[in-house]
Amino acid sequence: MSEFRTQLHQLADWVADYMENIEQYPVLSNVAPKHIYNQLPPAMPIQAESLQNILRDMEQIIMPGITHWQHPAFHAYFPANSSEPSVLAELITAAIGAQCMVWQTSPAAAELEQRVMEWLRDAMGLPRTWEGVIQDTASSATLCAILTAREQALNQEIMPNKAGSTTQFAVYCSTETHSSIEKAVKIAGIGVNKLRKVATDELFALSPIALEAAIVRDLRDGIKPLCVIATIGTTGTTAIDPLPQIGEICRQHNIWLHIDAAYAGVAAILPEQKHILYGVEYADSFVTNPHKWLFTNFDCSAYYVKNKQALLRTFEIMPEYLKTDADQQVNNYRDWGIALGRRFRALKLWFVLRSYGLENLQRKLREHIQLAQLFAVEIQKTNEYEILAPIHFNLVCFRHRPADIQNNETALNEHNVKLMQRINQSGKAFLSHTKLNGKYTIRAVFGQTNVSEQQVWNLLALLKESADMG
């Protein structure tokens, strides 16, 4: 056996052991800032080092600084869940090492990407005329949407490249929208002061009335409404913005509608969740992340557009050295986004979709949703907890509300901060928080690939134990 083959077998065991024994690690790394950095030598090695030494340091230095996203008790943020087929595909991707910028640089990568994007589109029930591309993140996809919207608006109205800079644009989202929207607006040069964070209703969904009012105000002030970003599954509470009403407003005012379904969009593969896409046909672009809740390890973000030409017009660039004979017949994905170079991300999604099959993916998502429901039912039985937002998917937003401080908002906030800190420091589970109407809100997501009922009971016990500490 060559040395590499031996090492590969050794690492295969390392990976399998890690995945099998992940529950032995504390979910959240509790190392102090600079703890890892200070253990690493200030200069790179001059001489070659053995894999054995590297792996020793991996165990001793690196692993204590890892937060274990694949731990089933990872209930924080949204998951970035992975799976065995995805890990296997990543290994092949690394070995092939293809840079998939144009069709010719790996025809299979481009054509597989086209096909798996169609599979996913159809499984979710998006319009069949839409076309998809894999981006690194939803953040990039949203930036692409805003840039495309602007390009289209300038082409339609004003001479491109000339008067564009004199047009003032505004972008609309809700107060619950993910920070990546503000970042995209900033990068695109629209001006963060032109991002209208529209009020939400009592369910934390964007209010169409407030949206219309903001648009009318801008039109009155000579500002062009460019793009509305509606969210399916907001980061704080997984709220669902009302697409049909928002879509109608966008249609009337000729505004680009981008849907940020980064987390929850994949739930549309469930027949009983199809309603979340009600009104989606109004949209110009849509993003959802298989790297969050579809068992495909980071990064894999599925971006769909209604009008491929608008996207290409925005990003296409044709230097002589990248022209090929096949250009008219194939997708050159370098023109579908910001970066020229692209990883072969379609492979892991293909492995995942095939290894699970739609039925098992549906079963897993359903299980996750049921776990959240079970957790919610159980915490409410005690009368000591308050659910603070509707449960649409597998996220429960709640706080502990002990009788002695139940009417003291400041004390409740402080109490819940401490409660969550205690749990996270225990290493037995990892939760994150948001603020809803000024209330410190603990978020528990049940979306890790191997999360089971056991984690619900564990978390309930942990909450009780930590709450009893005061």
Ligand X SMILES: Cc1ncc(COP(=O)(O)O)c(C=O)c1O
Read out DSSP for 141-180? HHHHHHHHHHHHHHHHHS-TTTSGGG--EEEEEETTS-HH
CA gap 411, 80 in Å, rounded: 33
The letter for the amino acid at 206 is L
Q: List strand residue ranges (DSSP E) for 340-394, in order.
A: 385-387
Half-sphere exposure of 407 (CA within 13 A, CB side): 0
Q: Scanning residues 166 to 195, which ones bind ligand X (CB under 6 A)?
A: 178, 180
In the complex with ligand X, the residue whose CB is nearer, 136 or 218, is 136
Question: Which ranges of 308-345 would DSSP assign to H, the alpha helix?
Answer: 308-315
What are φ and ψ of residue 397, in 5° steps?
Answer: -105, 120
Considering only the stretches 16-24, 85-93, 231-239, 337-345, report the one whose residues sit in contact with ligand X under the rule CB under 6 A: 231-239
In the complex with ligand X, the residue whose CB is nearer, 262 or 462, is 262
* N-term to C-term CA, the chain: 59
In the complex with ligand X, the residue whose CB is nearer, 207 or 332, is 207
In the complex with ligand X, the residue whose CB is nearer, 139 or 394, is 139
Considering only the stretches 16-24, 114-122, 233-241, 429-437, report the one whose residues sit in contact with ligand X under the rule CB under 6 A: 233-241
Number of residues interacting with ligand X: please give it, by CB under 6 A. Answer: 15
Q: Scanning residues 270 to 299, which ones bind ligand X (CB under 6 A)?
A: 289
Judge whether 330 and 110 are in contact, CB under 8 Å: yes
Residue 138 in contact with ligand X, rule: CB under 6 A:
yes
Residue 231 in contact with ligand X, rule: CB under 6 A:
yes
In the complex with ligand X, the residue whose CB is nearer, 74 or 263, is 263
* Min dist. Cβ of residue 296 to ligand X (A): 12
Residue 22 in contact with ligand X, rule: CB under 6 A:
no
Considering only the stretches 17-25, 120-128, 256-264, 391-399, report the one whose residues sit in contact with ligand X under the rule CB under 6 A: 256-264
Residue 263 in contact with ligand X, rule: CB under 6 A:
yes
Residue 262 in contact with ligand X, rule: CB under 6 A:
yes
* Min dist. Cβ of residue 136 to ligand X (A): 8
Considering only the stretches 217-225, 255-263, 308-316, 408-416, report the one whose residues sit in contact with ligand X under the rule CB under 6 A: 255-263
Judge whether 181 and 145 are in contact, CB under 8 Å: no
CA gap 173, 264 in Å, rounded: 17
What are φ and ψ of residue 246, in 5° steps?
Answer: -65, -40
| Tokens of residue 115, six digits | 């096909």
Q: In this chain, which of 70, 74, 76, 78 binds ligand X, going by CB under 6 A?
A: 78
Residues contacting residue 146 through CB under 8 Å, at least 6 positions apart: 171, 184, 185, 188, 190, 226, 227, 258
DSSP bridge partners of 43: none
In the complex with ligand X, the residue whose CB is nearer, 196 or 224, is 196
In the complex with ligand X, the residue whose CB is nearer, 142 or 152, is 142
CA gap 371, 217 in Å, rounded: 44
Residue 139 in contact with ligand X, rule: CB under 6 A:
yes
* Min dist. Cβ of residue 140 to ligand X (A): 7
Considering only the stretches 9-17, 38-46, 136-144, 266-274, report the one whose residues sit in contact with ligand X under the rule CB under 6 A: 136-144
What is the 8-class DSSP label of residue 1? -
Tell which residue, 385, 375, 464, has the closest CA to residue 426: 464
In the complex with ligand X, the residue whose CB is nearer, 139 or 424, is 139
Residue 393 in contact with ligand X, rule: CB under 6 A:
no
Interface residues with ligand X (CB under 6 A)?
A: 78, 137-139, 178, 180, 231, 233-235, 260, 262-263, 289, 301
